[in-house]
Amino acid sequence: MSPADLVGVLVEPFTEPIVQRAAAGVVLLGIVGGLAGCWVVLYGLSYAAESLAHGSLPGLVVAVAAGLPLLIGTSGGLLVAAAAIALVARVPALGRDTAVSIVISTMLGLGALLALAPSTPRGLAALLFGDVLGLSTADLAVGVVVAALLAVLLAVFHGRLLAVGFDRETAARLGVRPGLVELLLLVLLGLALVVVVPALGNLLAAAILIGPAATARLVTRRVPAMLAVAVLLAVGSGLAGLDASYQLSTASGATIAATILVVYLLALGGVMLRRRSAPSAGPGGPAVR
């Protein structure tokens, strides 16, 4: 097969309108996931993000069952889960990880109960694993708005996010309010999930938040570069995964998530190999946590 043929095969899926719409959704996903994901990773909130996504399942199911916009369901579920985790984490004897585990297990149980009740319209599978090819125009419109909003918020608050992430205590002394900044992070995460969950599903959404950003962190030294690389990687992985799912006839959301993981592992492997051969050299990522 000549290179031209190969390219032809790879591009073929994108000639279909359904896939084109899915691709547009994936691009928005990539932008949103890459941008918000960078701060999630820099603040060491990967597990938190993954868990909060799970924790918003009951909210999601309620929204679907009641016919409410997903935005309300996801954001509401996210807020409840985050508040519950914050409350439980304040119990002295339990660590934060334990608190997350408790709240998320309860939320998932509740969500599954609600979703498997006969009255729920959309299947549990779609809620859990997403439906990239089923994105509506409304979903895309929401995606555009959220992407723009995210970009603006990140531009405005870049300095504060950087200061608090680097050294929370000193940032407070510099006049930044760490609590507000962390609340902002939660808002950013919520916005990102609104766009990502319909496509990748509740269980896999965090992949596009964590993976590209973590990969970018391995290969960049400063945050602006990290943001750019993360977005590029997220969009690229998303489109590649979409293509692969078409070629191999596999579930699209899961294939995108798998692609993101593969990219990260390759980058990680590369960095570790380089570090082993030249211990003093190699990027260490932006100096934040």
* 2 or 249: CB nearest other proteins: 249
Question: Could you give the string, one character per residue 74-103, with x where binding to other proteins holds by CB under 8 A and - elsewhere?
Answer: -------------xxxxxxxxxxxxxxxxx
* 13 or 142: CB nearest other proteins: 13
* 142 or 185: CB nearest other proteins: 185
In whole angstroms, how close is the CB of 156 to other proteins at the nearest point?
26
In whole angstroms, how close is the CB of 253 to other proteins at the nearest point?
8
User: Considering only 39-47, 153-161, 177-185, 231-239, which stretch makes contact with other proteins by CB under 8 A?
Assistant: 39-47
- The residue count for binding other proteins (CB under 8 A) is 62
Please say whether the beta carbons of 50 and 103 come within 8 A.
no
Choice from 60, 181, 195, 203 touching other proteins (CB under 8 A) = 203
In the complex, the residues that contact other proteins under the rule CB under 8 A are 41, 44, 46-47, 49-50, 54, 87-110, 112-113, 116-117, 124-125, 128-129, 203-204, 206-207, 210-211, 214, 217, 248-251, 253-255, 257-258, 260-261, 264, 268, 272, 289
